[in-house]
């Protein structure tokens, strides 16, 4: 297949999934055309089946905000006309689903049918999308996509609850590439971080409000008083300064902010516990990546997280913001070496269900179905 992929090129979960999916499809022999404003963060090396089409924004004094939607629509039309796409897969509804719809209409005037698949990722539904500023466009563009997928059952439910959707939504969960996310021996690194054999706790996020990084610090300060431990905070974003200030006053020497890291799998390889206390999370890709590296997860029970982090098996899930409960569960795991080892193994086994090689064929099958249906629609 000749597949177009529209996504955000950043480290955010939707961009990561879109890029890894594209790379996987290219390895399966498909031609993949990424259409976005910057080279996607995880598209590091050359691949003979991967093409990257940059959406350029030309500035003009009249524009306070250069119209990205228009530039993206034009680029989709251009790529489709010249590369003859069989299907376009857009990740994150805003503004990708509506630009895809517009491009599809333009292509019709060239007698070209472009089937469009929209994948809903989370905040495009639960946070940003339902804002009245965007809602009518989001609803319309979901209903007018040829195929719609959501990354968890929870996100599917939220979509039907918050929008007037008449379209079927197929759940295709996120995935992890075990070629990259694998526990490796990083003993020297572990010694440097935890020289006295302290437990290592890790949090990775974009430090937005929804991630509740303050909960990570609060629980860690209590945990580290009883159990010698270190906390590694990976990522960057608006809440980082607040978190650093919290730490400065309480347990400074035990917490390190590492900023954005390329090789998070190396940090995960030395971790004992991954912490994800989010207020809302459609899936929790960072938790899955931790589990693939044999790290149990202590998380909130928000949104789709409990579908990934199975309470009492791969870690624990507790109510959002319940610091006492987090601490209690952390003690259960970190104080019992035998139990911790069991949870590490169980986390890995659960993660195996989300192996890229298992999920990729689901997308290929879905594309085929949408392409076939779209052909039938034209001949009707
Ligand atoms: O977590 C973020 O803020 C990034 C965001 C995104 O849209 O890129 O992540 C969402 O999509 C990820 C990939 O499908 C999911 O794993 C995250 O759970 C989801 N984030 C939220 O729902 C807050």
Going from the Cα of 284 to the center of ligand 1, the distance in angstroms, rounded, reads 7
Atom of ligand 1 nearest to the CA of 288: 16
Per-residue pLDDT tens digits for 138-192: 999 999 999 999 999 999 999 999 999 999 999 999 999 999 999 999 999 999 9
Q: What is the DSSP letter of 377?
A: H
Check whether residue 61 and residue 117 sit in a common domain.
yes
The label of the residue with tokens 């517009």 reads 102
Check whether residue 363 and residue 334 sit in a common domain.
no
Residues 107, 162: Cα–Cα separation, whole Å: 31
Contact 173, 151 (CB under 8 A): yes
Determine, yes or no, domain membership for 332.
Answer: yes
Length of the chain: 380
Going from the Cα of 203 to the center of ligand 1, the distance in angstroms, rounded, reads 15
Check whether residue 64 and residue 161 sit in a common domain.
yes
Check whether residue 297 and residue 366 sit in a common domain.
no
Check whether residue 245 and residue 331 sit in a common domain.
yes
Determine, yes or no, domain membership for 305.
Answer: yes
Per the structure, the complete domain to which residue 280 belongs is given by: 187-354
Atom of ligand 1 nearest to the CA of 126: 22
Which of 6, 7, 11, 14 has most ligand 1 atoms within 8 Å of its beta carbon, as the pocket-test mutant? 14
SS3 of 151, please?
coil
Determine, yes or no, domain membership for 180.
Answer: no
> Could you tell me the pTM of the whole model?
0.94
Picking from 121-135, 267-281, 285-299, which range would have the lowest pLDDT averaged per residue? Answer: 121-135
For residue 299, the cross-strand partners are 276, 317
Residues 289, 292: Cα–Cα separation, whole Å: 5
Q: Is the dihedral of CA 10, 96, 88, 282 positive or negative?
A: positive
Determine, yes or no, domain membership for 223.
Answer: yes
Atom of ligand 1 nearest to the CA of 17: 13
Check whether residue 118 and residue 199 sit in a common domain.
no
- The CATH number assigned to the domain holding 20 equals 3.40.50.2000
SS3 of 135, please?
helix
Check whether residue 288 and residue 366 sit in a common domain.
no
Per-residue pLDDT tens digits for 17-72: 999 999 999 999 999 999 999 999 888 888 999 999 999 998 899 999 999 999 99
Check whether residue 367 and residue 349 sit in a common domain.
no
CB atoms within 10 A of CB 191: 12
224 falls in which pLDDT band (50, 70, 90)? very high
Structure tokens at 261: 């890291």
Check whether residue 261 and residue 373 sit in a common domain.
no
Asked whether the predicted pLDDT for residue 249 surpasses 90, the reply is no
C-alpha 228: how far from chain center = 32
| Domains contained in the chain, number | 2
What's the distance, Cα to Cα, between the start and end of the chain in Å? Answer: 24
Check whether residue 67 and residue 191 sit in a common domain.
no
Atom of ligand 1 nearest to the CA of 152: 14
Check whether residue 231 and residue 266 sit in a common domain.
yes
Check whether residue 201 and residue 286 sit in a common domain.
yes
The label of the residue with tokens 């292509």 reads 107
Asked whether the predicted pLDDT for residue 379 surpasses 70, the reply is no
Inter-CA distances, 65 with 53, 135, 281, Å: 22, 20, 30
Question: Which residues, judged by CB distance below 6 Å to any ligand atom, belong to the binding site of ligand 1?
Answer: 12-14, 17, 92, 121-123, 126, 151, 174, 206, 208, 210, 280-285
Give the mean model confidence (pLDDT) for residues 263-271: 96
């Amino acid at each position: 297949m000749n597949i177009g992929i529209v996504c955000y090129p950043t480290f955010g979960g939707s961009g990561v999934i879109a890029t890894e999916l594209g790379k996987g499809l290219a390895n399966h022999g498909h031609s993949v055309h990424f259409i976005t404003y910057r080279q996607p963060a995880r598209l590091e090396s050359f691949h003979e089946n991967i093409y990257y089409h940059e959406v350029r924004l030309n500035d003009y004094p009249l524009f306070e905000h250069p119209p990205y939607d228009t530039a993206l629509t034009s680029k989709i039309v251009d790529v489709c006309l010249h590369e003859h796409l069989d299907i376009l897969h857009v990740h994150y509804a805003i503004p990708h689903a509506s630009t895809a719809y517009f491009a599809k209409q333009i292509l019709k005037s060239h007698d070209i049918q472009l089937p469009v698949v929209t994948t809903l990722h989370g905040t495009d539904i639960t946070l940003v999308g339902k804002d009245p500023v965007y809602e009518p466009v989001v609803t319309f563009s979901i209903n007018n996509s040829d195929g719609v997928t959501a990354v968890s059952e929870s996100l599917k439910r939220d979509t039907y609850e918050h929008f007037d959707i008449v379209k079927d939504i197929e759940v295709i969960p996120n995935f992890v590439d075990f070629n990259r996310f694998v526990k490796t021996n990083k003993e020297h690194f572990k010694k440097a971080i935890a020289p006295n054999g302290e437990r290592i706790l890790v949090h990775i996020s974009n430090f937005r409000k929804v991630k509740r990084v303050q909960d990570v610090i609060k629980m860690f300060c209590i945990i580290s008083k009883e159990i010698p431990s270190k906390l590694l905070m990976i990522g960057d974003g608006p809440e980082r300064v607040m978190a650093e200030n919290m730490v400065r006053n309480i347990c400074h020497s035990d917490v390190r902010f590492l900023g954005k890291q390329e090789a998070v799998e190396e940090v995960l390889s030395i971790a004992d516990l991954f912490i994800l206390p989010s207020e809302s999370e459609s899936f929790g890709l960072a938790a899955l990546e931790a589990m693939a590296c044999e790290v149990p997860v202590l998380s909130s029970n928000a949104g789709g997280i409990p579908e990934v982090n199975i309470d009492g098996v791969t870690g624990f899930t507790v109510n959002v913001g319940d610091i006492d409960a987090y601490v209690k569960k952390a003690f259960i795991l970190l104080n019992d070496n035998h139990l911790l080892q069991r949870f590490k193994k169980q986390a890995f086994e659960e993660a195996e269900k989300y192996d890229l090689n298992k999920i990729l064929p689901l997308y290929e099958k879905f594309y085929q179905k949408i392409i076939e249906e779209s052909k039938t629609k034209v001949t009707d």
